[in-house]
Chains A and B, each alone.
Chain A
Amino acid sequence: MNLTADRFKDNVRVALDDDQLQRALTHVRSNFIERRAKAVDALPEFEALREAARAVKDHALTHLDLYLEAYETRVAESGGHVHYAETAADARDVILNICRKAGARTVTKGKSMIAEEVDLNNHLEAHGVEPVETDLGEYIIQLRGEVPSHIIAPAVHVNQDQVEADFRRVHTHLAAERDLAEPTSLLAEARGVLRDRFLAADVGITGANFLVAETGTSIIVTNEGNGDLTQILPRIHIVIASIEKIVPTLEDATTILRLLARSATGQDMSVYTTLSTGPRRPDDPDGPDEYHVVILDNGRTAMLGTEFQDMLRCIRCGACMNHCPVYHAVGGHAYGATYPGPMGQVLDPAIFGLKATHDLPNASTFCGRCESVCPMKIPLPKMMRHWRDKEFERGLSPAPQRWGIRAWAFLARRPALYRLATGLMMRALGNLGSDRGRFQMLPFAGGWTAHRDLPAPEGRTFMSAYRAKAQNKGRKT
Chain B
Amino acid sequence: MRLDDPLKRVLFVDLSKRRFWIEERRELFEATLGGSGAAIRLLDEFCPEGAGALSPDNPIIFAVGPLVGFYPLASKTVAMFKSPHTGNLGESHAGGRSAVAIRMAGYGAIVILGRSEMPIYLVIGDGQVAFRDASALWGTRSSYTTGDVLAKRESGRGNRTIMRIGRAGEQQVSYACVITETFRHFGRLGLGAVFGSKQLKAIVIEGQRNLAPDDRKAYRQTYDTIYQRATQSELMQKYHELGTPMNVLPLDAIGALPTRNLQSGRFEGAEAISGERLAADYLGRRIACAHCPVACIHIAALRIPYPNDPYFYKTVMLGYDHEPIYAVGSMLGIQDVSGMLQVMDEVEIQGLDVMSAGVALAWATEALGQGLIGETETDGLPLQFGGAETYIEAIKRIVSQPTLFYKALAQGVDHAASLYGGQDFALAFGGNEMPGYHTGPGCHAGYLTGARHSHLDSAGYGLDQDAAKAGRTLEPEGVAAQLIEEERWRQVLTSLVICLFARKVYELPLILDALAAIGSERTEADLEHLGTEILREKHAFKRREGFDFAELRIPRRILETPAPAGDFDAAFIRETLHHYADLLRG
A binds B: no
User: Measuring CB to CB, which residues of chain B are less than 8 angstroms from any residue of chain A?
Assistant: none
